[in-house]
Structure 1
Amino acid sequence: MTHSDLARRIHAAAHLSGRFTLRSGRTATEYFDKYRFEADPVLLDEIARLMAPLVPAGTEVLAGLEMGGIPVVTALGRYTGLPCAFVRKQAKSYGTCRLAEGADVEERRVLVVEDVVTSGGQIVLSTADLRALGADVREALCVIDREQGGAEALRVEGVALVSLLTAGDLRAAAV
């Protein structure tokens, strides 16, 4: 499958038309439902296969962010053979009380994995949390960069954003 084919398949699976209320409170007539491509095991597997070559050399742990990064990082781990950590937005208050479940991140080179990046805000917060746990975070990898300032916000924090696709790729696929 080519890059363009993947963009077309993701657009076909996740682009919705109708009336939607956005997180900001505004309404829109188009919506991109990322969970539709994450819930399709065949499509998710193809995404992971094409993302695997984008994993930076030296990466020791793949860290998927709650919630959308979890299926992506699990599928990606199958192709890279790297252990995965599942990063919560905040540590749970019971059981292990851990922020990052699964693979240990302390003193390891960790790649943050996310499904869609808009402003980069959650990656910035989670990177700070992972670094506080002793992780070496230099890059983040996403399926789609919406090209709305996320790469720039991450650069300020010393994190390079690598994306499989961009909003521009999805717009081109819609034609």
Structure 2
Amino acid sequence: MGLSPALAADPDVVNCALAPRHESVRTAREFTKLTLNRWGLGGLFDDIALVASELVTNALRHALASASVPEQRSSPWGRRGTALDAAFNDCSSPLIRLSLVRRVPQVVCAVSDPSSNGPVAREADWVAESGRGLHLVDSFSHSWGWHPVAAGKVVWATFELPEAVQQPLSPPGNDGRRY
């Protein structure tokens, strides 16, 4: 897991470059927990971590698997010619990035990936092992969507901050009374 230089420039905007591996879902959850605790927003962890996990899983499952690259040596699963294979051969450039942005009145969770294909919510099969991710994103976030970018897309979800966090704090020594 790595933090981008944006952390130093703006503590309310943090990024985590994720390797194209299934373990990146766990890394995304750990990064989310660390960030939300640093911001004093640990109470939002369950919802935001679930959505971050789903978005990273979708990027791994759909975006990387659909991007084709020249044939290379086989991945451990025996598939050849996918972006996931290229990642096993060269992890020098992360293909997925998780970003968390805190701006009153909300937190934005965004995952970028190299595919220009937008996410498609399909009819949920409640018995199947997969296929409900975007329904979960829709259920646990305030809103969500996606935008194309120069090198793929960004899928984002917003979360409302608790009312107490949205209120500006009085300057030290000022109890709000006028003299």
**TM interval, short-chain normalised:** under 0.3
- Hey, which of these two has a bigger chunk of helix by percent? 1
Query: What is the TM-score normalised by the length of structure 2?
Result: 0.27
- Hey, which of these two has a bigger chunk of strand by percent? 1
Structure with higher Rg: it is 2
Query: What is the TM-score normalised by the length of structure 1?
Result: 0.27
